Structure 1
Amino acid sequence: MVSACFQVVGFITATVGWFMACVAMAIPQWKIRNLAGSTILTVEEGWEGIWMSCINDSGGLLSCDIHDSLLALPSDLQAARALMCLAVALGILAMVVSSAGMKCTKFARGEERFKASLTVTGGALFILAGTCVLIPVSWTAGNIVADFYNPLVPISMKADLGDALFLGWGSTCVLALGGTILCCSCPANSERTKGSMRNRALYQSTVPGNRINL
């Protein structure tokens, strides 16, 4: 019963991390640049994401332009698009596999060892999805920091860390936590073996004519 509760907690935690990764992939705030407005009284903020670039002025007007070509993106955003899509796909696969292996589901009822292996596999897939989120987020942040302190880069080309990067780091931690809980929620093989041997010995002790030395 305790392991089943841990499985539910781990599954919910990992699902929240997967949802955070989806939001981080969708929003355009990967790179933030302060741009000069059309007049002295206006200030514009440029957002660059893996799917679109947006300009938000002080008047609240937001205009976005979807990236038409993948080759026009920087290398870090190209890798981010591929790895974030892979992370989302791995998260969906992990939810399907882990939900089938959880004790509260009816799939493969009675096959405890098989269900435990499904749960562990789902937890490992969640951790792998978190790794796929961590790589592009850290790569993009590293390039932003390197360009910010590079004197050869013009001030207009310098960028700040966007909200999507912090959301991606949080998603990585939550995915890793949920996947670890799922992996640790299944008892070890030795414990299952001892439990089955104990149950078999108790059953045989109730049969007349059997003498079991415990």
Structure 2
Amino acid sequence: MAYLAHSAHAQMGALPLGCVGWTLTCMSLGLIQWRVWLVEGSQVVHSGVAWVGLWRACFHSYALSNPGFLHCGSISLLGNYAPPEIAAGQVLMVLAVVGGLLANASGVYAVRNAYFGVERTLLVRRAFHGTGALGLLAAAASSVPLLWNLGSVVTNQTISFPPDFRLPPAPRSQYVGGGIGVGLVGTALMVVHGIVFCCYRLPAEIHRRVRVPGGQGAPWSTTGKENLAFESDEHMHDWLH
């Protein structure tokens, strides 16, 4: 049985990073502060600020809701008004959450096998590399909508919301909200997590380990040479008997 705990310290440290990165990705998916619109002269948006996320567009309005509550309109994936960066974000961010969950589960499995010992070292190596690949794929899926929406904010892109949203087609100005920032941090952590797991290598002595010629009961050797100490013990045993 091979014990590989000494070879997986970096991966053990990267495992919490993947969990935190996945958690931040989940938070980013649900936040409405992806794009912050500054609206002036509106009779409905009394605060002058509207928040546009992947799933909802919200603002404070005393005319449409009770004080202290948000008035929100749901953004549908099938709606013609949804810009491509938001529609793509609804799909890719969900895929990133699923991929990140699988990467973390696979990482726990790989680290557990390395620390508790397994018979098949090839399975351990594949588990580490598979975890890294899943983490990098999840990071790639989340980075596309995050950077795309970031570019839309920088270039002050507009959204033609339906009339029931009560939002103008273009804000006076807009800036990046916390949702994109949280998502970018989570993506960066998942990238680190994926790279560390992809870089896992089995110890060199595992690759060099072969059996010494001399029968079924011969001991293991890491160099492929005969074990002289074992042979001397065997001769001593024959002499005594």
TM-score by length of 1: 0.80
> Secondary structure, in 3 states, of the residue corresponding to 2:118?
coil
Q: Distance in 2 between matches of 1:90 and 1:108?
A: 27
For residues 9-45 of structure 1, give each alpha carbon's deviation from its aligned partner in whole angstroms, at most 9, with x where no partner exists: 11111111111111111111111112235499x4231
| Aligned-partner Cα distance in 2 for 1:39–1:74 | 23
Q: Indicate yes or no: 2:64 matched with 1:51.
A: no
Residue 57 of structure 1 deviates from its aligned partner by 5.8
State the identity as a percent: 23
Q: Distance in 1 between matches of 2:148 and 2:96?
A: 15
Contact 1:45–1:57 (8 Å) recurs in 2: no
Match in the other structure for 2:124: 115
Where does residue 137 of structure 1 map in the other structure? 146
| Cα displacement string for residues 136-159 of structure 1 (whole angstroms, at most 9, x for unaligned residues) | 1111111221226xxxxx862642
CA contact (8 A) 2:99 2:135 kept: yes
Kept in 2: contact 1:108–1:115 (CA 8 A): no
Provide the TM-score with structure 2 as the length reference: 0.72
Structure 1 partner of 2:24: 20
The count of residues paired between Structure 1 and Structure 2 equals 204
The amino acid that maps onto 2:207 is T
| Distance change in 2, residues 1:122/1:107 (3 Å) | farther
Equivalent of 1:186 in 173, 180, 201: 201
Q: Partner residue of 2:189? A: 174
- 8 A contact 1:137–1:169 mirrored in 2: yes
Task: Give 5+ residue unaligned stretches, structure 1.
Answer: 149-153
Q: How does 1:1-214 map to 2 (within 5 A)?
A: 1-36=5-40, 38=43, 42-56=46-60, 60-68=68-76, 70-71=78-79, 72-104=81-113, 109-147=118-156, 156=171, 158-187=173-202, 192-194=206-208, 196-197=209-210, 199-201=220-222, 205=227, 206-208=229-231
Gaps of 5+ in 2: 158-168, 212-219, 234-241
Matches of 1:69 and 1:135, distance apart in 2: 17
Cα shift readout 1:180-211 (whole Å, capped 9, x = no counterpart): 122224336x55313x249524795143279x
| Structure 2: distance between partners of 1:62 and 1:132 | 30
- The DSSP-based 3-state class of the residue aligned with 1:102 is helix
Which of the pair is proportionally richer in helix?
A: 1
Aligned-residue CA RMSD in angstroms? Answer: 3.3
User: How many Å separate the matches in 2 of 1:77 and 1:155?
Assistant: 16
